[in-house]
Amino acid sequence: MPRVARDAGASVGLRPSSRAISLDQLPSYLAGVHQPEYIQRLLAEAAVSAESPGSLASGDLYLSPGTPTGVGAALGTLLDAVDLAAARGRSPVPLAARDAARQHLLARSADVSPAPGPEGPAELAATFALVRPPGHHCTHAAPMGFCFFNNAVAAARHAFTRHGIEHIAIIDFDLHHGNGTQDLVVDINQKRALDPEAPPRLFFGSLHDIKSYPCELYDAAAIFSASICLMDHDHALWNVHLQPWADFGEFLGHYDGQYRALLTQAAHFLAGCPPDRSLIIVSAGFDAHELEYPSIQRQGRRLPAEFYYLFCRDLALLARAHTDGKMVFALEGGYSQGALANGLYSALAGLAGLGPDHATMAGPGRMARPSRPSDNP
């Protein structure tokens, strides 16, 4: 964080959040996201459990009496991030700046100059909640994959109830499919179809490895769920699978083809609502980074560090074009210090509109030289 703040100047800052959701407040803040019975059962398990919860066991959950405090602090920090982005995004982005952002999104990644810099009301109103535990695997009543509550959907509900934001695009990049978020989005959009006054309308787009958890054990339902693309019948889902790459040129081909297509679908979704009532929420995972632990990267996808710079640079364009710059990030996966530090630096450099010389902590990286097979470690 100090490194990217130094390189980006005043456009990036770090602030602590003292907001925490107490045990008695959790059910109200999570209403419409998780079943009340599930919330109470989880709190009861935490009060007596020293490690793996008996009735909620999935092999990757660890509870203690301090867990509710942790999840309450994470949720409170994320809601702070939503409130801050909503407050900073109240000034409309000028029409010319929106059009310029849309044109940049249509260009090849190698041809895109840095995102338009802060210009008065066109400043990007982006916040990044550095929180744990993650949330994108948790369904309405089933915790899994280190996730107890679904942070992204809780943030979407808060944006709707507190700020009147009706169109919310949830974009998830992580080694693993955000299966819990997708299940909740499907349920919410189905309710919206039956009652237009009920919840917000949501888009869910995920970029993940189809061979990793929760698809690792060849569960057909999980695999099909992580592969569906549907933009009709009141649903808005778009799943993209990470691809292997032999050199940086091949990676850029994947990026300009399949990866950016996810943002194109999000743009189609957001085009249906005024920017002042639209928001982007990003579930940001860094466990697909090439510096992640080999024990996590069992399938060897290893995204180059430059991916996070490019994708977040394009997310900034998407926000300028469709949400008056409003965008909220929540940390998901990422376990090695190398993956987290380098991935976060590249992501924030892209958001801040820094040039390709800052695509990685080490400098321009592969964006400054011809690709070659040895580029993939």
Rounded Cα distance, 37 and 262, in Å: 35
pLDDT computed for residue 339 by the predictor: 95
Are residues 278 and 245 in contact, defined by beta-carbon separation less than 8 angstroms? no
Q: What's the predicted TM-score (pTM) here?
A: 0.93
Query: What is the residue type of 13?
Result: G
Rounded Cα distance, 89 and 84, in Å: 8
Residue 176 among the catalytic residues? no
* Tens digits of residue pLDDT in 61-77: 888 888 889 999 999 99
Strands of the sheet with 326-331, listed across from one edge: 125-129, 326-331, 278-284, 167-173, 201-208, 237-241, 229-230
Of residues 363, 169, 172, 178, the one with CA closest to residue 280:
169
Are residues 179 and 225 in contact, defined by beta-carbon separation less than 8 angstroms? yes
- Given CATH 3.40.800.20, say whether it is the number of domain 23-108+120-358: yes
* Tens digits of residue pLDDT in 326-358: 999 999 999 999 999 999 999 999 999 888 888
* Tens digits of residue pLDDT in 20-44: 998 889 999 999 899 999 998 888 8
Are residues 312 and 372 in contact, defined by beta-carbon separation less than 8 angstroms? no
3-state class of 219 per DSSP? coil
Q: Which of 34, 104, 137, 289 is catalytic?
A: 137
Cis peptide before 364 (omega within 30 of 0): no
